[in-house]
Chain A
């Protein structure tokens, strides 16, 4: 243990307050940004999403480094756990790109149907998605 008993007790209180406040802030962003608190005020997704993701990553960092004591472990142990998870960065990029491509192809087919055989899909399907980042 790197910290004295008193210090680590303080850290626990700090962690509780920190994680609690960050969670409340995240929920507040979700509710404010979607217009639940102030009627008609809607934040753009490119403001909301990075904020929420950033706060969540900080929470993850705090849990791993303080609560799980990664900060006080040997560097080699920490790296052998953290470096492999970086593979996920590419997984996220690749699979999200692929998913988006599905949607574009589906829209392409609907568009071709409309032009070639006059089939018109219901408006719900043709409407461009605006929810994603």
Chain B
């Protein structure tokens, strides 16, 4: 084939291959167009991932993945990246079984194609199930959504506090007037974070729990401390000190939160992380998951066609299996970069 290709290249050079009636790229129309579809799809994904990168560059803090993704099924906690590594392996293995299906197709071995395609579909379904679990954990367990992100930076281990816990620890509920709390608008429309935080650093300001905040059951108070040093962390404070926990239930955002450190037992506070993180995470992994889902659907359709003997009659080495194989490998390829960008870096 290597020499074939070289000879063929000469044809292309001389222009004869482009005279019509031949396939200059030695690939069928369908396969070639699958490649070009994948190129366009690669640009779509690249656009999303670059958006993630530039948002991350624009933020003073960003969640650290090995602390965001540190939960695994069967009650495993504090297992950073373990579950997502498992997911990656599932995709790699299903990619490998897909290669085997294509190879058996070239040999016109129908039973082989069915067997390996079936395994590939199982892999895809396993991946989707894992992703469903991961999303559920993040949304219901960790409180990440498209509009909020409690993960600010690099965290030490801590226990979330309920409003009742905070009350017990000496926080005082007090009505805070909106004008008092958000009186300054000097940040010229920039720096969303700055807005509404000024009150916490004015001299002689006392800090309180907003009224009613403790009574809302889904109200948890997040706060974490930086793992690198204590620079990013909110200040720690005495239990007796009244402290402001800004909480905007209607806007769906927590400005500050509190948690109790598992290390020294202190209660600490920290500002919420960038909201863009949740939106980008769910959008990009969701878009990839949608590719996996549609890939599984197409694999199923083609598996049924293989079983019915449709491609056997075509005598073209199961080209349709090869085309869906290209798509399936592309899904794996995208995951390589999603894995890199969201979980590793």
Most buried by A among B55, B57, B65, B339: B57
| A76 CA to B54 CA, complexed, in Å | 33
Q: Which residues of B contact A109 (CB under 8 A)?
A: 187-188, 190-191
Cβ–Cβ contact B1 & A68, under 8 A: no
Nearest chain B CB to A128's CB is how many angstroms away?
A: 7
Contact A74 B27 (CB under 8 A): yes
| Bound-complex Cα distance A35 to B229 (A) | 13
Instruction: Say yes or no: A74-B39 contact (C-beta < 8 A), given A63-B333, A119-B186, A120-B201.
Output: no
Contact flag A95-B270 (CB < 8 Å), given A100-B57, A125-B197: no
Residues of B within 8 A of A119 (CB): 184, 186-187, 198
When C-beta atoms are compared, the residue in chain A nearest to B341 turns out to be A56
Task: State whether A63 and B329 are in contact (beta carbons under 8 Å apart), knowing that A109-B191, A125-B193 are contacts in the complex.
Answer: yes
Shortest A47–chain B CB gap in Å is 13
A123: chain B residues within 8 A (beta carbon): 231, 235
Q: Which residue on chain A has the smallest CB distance to residue B63? A: A131
Given A2-B1, A63-B332, A76-B24, decide whether A124 and B61 contact each other with a Cβ distance below 8 A: yes
- Is there contact, CB below 8 Å, between B194 and A31? no
Asked whether, in the complex, the Cβ of A36 is within 8 Å of the Cβ of B66, the reply is yes
A132 closest partner in B (C-beta): B57
- Determine whether the beta carbon of B46 is less than 8 Å from that of A91: yes
CA distance A27 to B2 in the complex (A): 36
CA distance A2 to B74 in the complex (A): 46
Residue pair B64, A34 in contact (C-beta under 8 Å): yes
B186 touching A117, Cβ below 8 Å: yes
B164 within 8 A of A: no
Q: Which residues from chain B contact A132 at a C-beta distance below 8 Å?
A: 56-57, 62
Contact of A76 among B2, B25, B333 (CB under 8 A): B25
Contact B340 A56 (CB under 8 A): yes
Within B1-55, the residues touching A (CB, 8 Å) are 1-2, 5, 8-9, 12, 24-27, 32, 35-36, 38-39, 42-43, 46-47, 50-51, 53-55
Give the complex CA separation of A109 and B188 in angstroms.
8
Interface residues of B in 215-235 (CB under 8 A from A): 227-228, 231-232, 234-235
Q: Considering the chains assembled together, what is the distance between the CA atoms of A121 and B42 in angstroms?
A: 40
8 pairs from A and B in contact (CB 8 Å cutoff): A9-B100, A74-B5, A74-B25, A77-B25, A84-B39, A91-B50, A100-B57, A131-B154
Enumerate chain A interface residues (CB-CB to B < 8 A).
Answer: 1-2, 5, 8-9, 12, 15-16, 19-20, 23-24, 26-27, 29-31, 34-36, 42, 49, 52-53, 56, 59-60, 63-64, 67-68, 72-77, 80-81, 84-85, 88, 91-92, 95-96, 98-103, 105-107, 109-110, 113, 117, 119-132
Instruction: Mark B residues whose CB is within 8 Å of A.
Output: 1-2, 5, 8-9, 12, 24-27, 32, 35-36, 38-39, 42-43, 46-47, 50-51, 53-62, 64-66, 80-81, 85, 88-89, 92-93, 95-96, 98-100, 103, 106-107, 152-154, 184, 186-188, 190-191, 193-194, 197-198, 200-201, 227-228, 231-232, 234-235, 270-271, 325-326, 329-330, 332-333, 336-337, 339-340, 343-345
